[in-house]
Amino acid sequence: MEQYSNVFKENRATITSTVVLDYAFVEGEDTDTYQLVRFGEGEPWNILYHGFLLGSLTKVDGLWIAENASGLNGEQIFALGKFIDSQPFNQLPDRIKTHWEEFVKEVVLERNNSYLVICREEIDFAMFSLMFDAFIAELVEDGTPVRFKVYNATFSDDFQLAV
């Protein structure tokens, strides 16, 4: 296991879109802390315990499925999946797209607390940049600093904003 653990740590350092979460699972008086790592959008979540890779979690048809995670029971898998689903970075893209559905085509998590926002064609990008700047702070709920890089539909114009 140690050999694979080192490879895992090396790969983690070279990828910029990595998301890392820490989760404490309390069972009676015992507390186990797991680290959840996703290397990129759409990739499975790797489950680490004391630095060792236990397996991975993938969401399929709305259900969290564990692969190669024989050390976890169904309750733990459900709790880890629920924890991932509750993270602000999972909710913010949908809030932005819903709030500005006539302006925003896609919102992509680039890395922890950094998003790419891609606008729709045929919008007034200058007007949208003013609206986005004025109201985005209301959609960011968790108080953690968040960075946005916003592009027009053809990627010929952009602006950046930190909230």
CA distance 12 to 19: 10
From first to last of its 163 residues, what are the pLDDT tens digits of the chain?
A: 334 444 444 444 343 568 889 999 887 888 888 899 998 777 899 999 888 999 999 988 888 989 987 778 888 889 999 999 888 777 888 899 999 999 999 998 887 688 999 999 999 999 999 999 999 998 887 677 899 999 999 999 999 999 9
CA distance 59 to 82: 11
Q: Which of 93, 101, 98 has the alpha carbon at shortest distance from 120?
A: 101
The predicted pLDDT at position 136 comes to 94
**159 contacts 118 by C-beta, under 8 angstroms:** no
Q: How far, CA to CA in Å, does 66 sit from each of 86, 107, 160?
A: 18, 27, 37
Q: How far, CA to CA in Å, does 70 sit from each of 24, 57, 60, 67, 76?
A: 19, 12, 19, 8, 11
**145 contacts 162 by C-beta, under 8 angstroms:** yes
User: pTM of the entire structure?
Assistant: 0.60
Report residue 110: phi and psi, to 5°: -85, -45
CA distance 22 to 33: 7
The predicted pLDDT at position 5 comes to 42
Residue that is written with structure tokens 């909230």 in the block: 163
